[in-house]
Chains A and B, each alone.
Chain A
Amino acid sequence: GAGVSQSPRYKVAKRGQDVALRCDPISGHVSLFWYQQALGQGPEFLTYFQNEAQLDKSGLPSDRFFAERPEGSVSTLKIQRTQQEDSAVYLCASSLAPLAEKLFFGSGTQLSVL
């Protein structure tokens, strides 16, 4: 595709449900990042992949958060037993080269936990 694609665009979950958020980076992009953006705040780093390797997961807020990129392309961010504080927009970004400074962001998935 032409850009970074994220799905679903909106997700409503009941507290305690598990959710899976998908990111399709630009074809051929090596680096992939996940960020969490709470309402009225700037994005916060969650995790970074280089190809299929998860090189940095220091931003994941708890062990309920898990991300994978098994074939080095599509990535999934999974949140188990969702809590109200998980409500946020989850942004995915990719870049062509490892740690390239030119990042391309998707439009995000807005997660609402009721």
Chain B
Amino acid sequence: KQEVTQIPAALSVPEGENLVLNCSFTDSAIYNLQWFRQDPGKGLTSLLLIQSSQREQTSGRLNASLDKSSGRSTLYIAASQPGDSATYLCAVIHGSSNTGKLIFGQGTTLQVKP
């Protein structure tokens, strides 16, 4: 059974710091991996999507990497800002085809202090 774990559960950093959020999954057979952002009382917003054949994706100050063989992904946030404060979730689609069924980690809640 595919399981997704995120460490740490919570993180607090001063503004301007670079930081890394970690995601691990137990089965390397994934179709893709996504990182989402969730603000309190809001739905999820997709940040980055990495296909199983890719190693990384970048968008602005965000960079996500994928190492399928070790079952790990990281989300790197450069020059963090208070507006980055939110819960970050990673999710995988398990298997070799697109079932559309996302398996989520429990999330990392980030607080960036001014």
Enumerate chain A interface residues (CB-CB to B < 8 A).
4, 31, 33, 35, 40-45, 48, 56, 59, 91, 93, 95, 99, 101-108
Contact = CB atoms under 8 A, between A and B. Distances in A.
Contacts of A101: 32, 34, 49, 98
Interface in B40-60: 41-46, 49
Nearest to A31: B100
Contact of B106 (A41, A91, A95, A102): A41
Nearest to B89: A42
A99 B43 contact: no
Interface of B is mostly: strand
A91 B44 CA distance: 9
Contacts of A95: 100
Contact of B43 (A4, A40, A41, A102): A4
A42 B104 contact: yes
B102 interface: yes
Contacts, number: 55
A42 B104 CA distance: 5
A106 B43 contact: yes
B4 interface: yes
A24 B22 CA distance: 34
A-B residue pairs, 4 tightest by C-beta = A42-B104, A105-B43, A99-B100, A105-B44
A56 B107 CA distance: 25
B4 to A, nearest CB: 7
A42 B89 CA distance: 7
Contact of B99 (A4, A35, A41, A99): A99
Given A99-B98, A101-B32, A101-B98, A45 B103 contact: yes
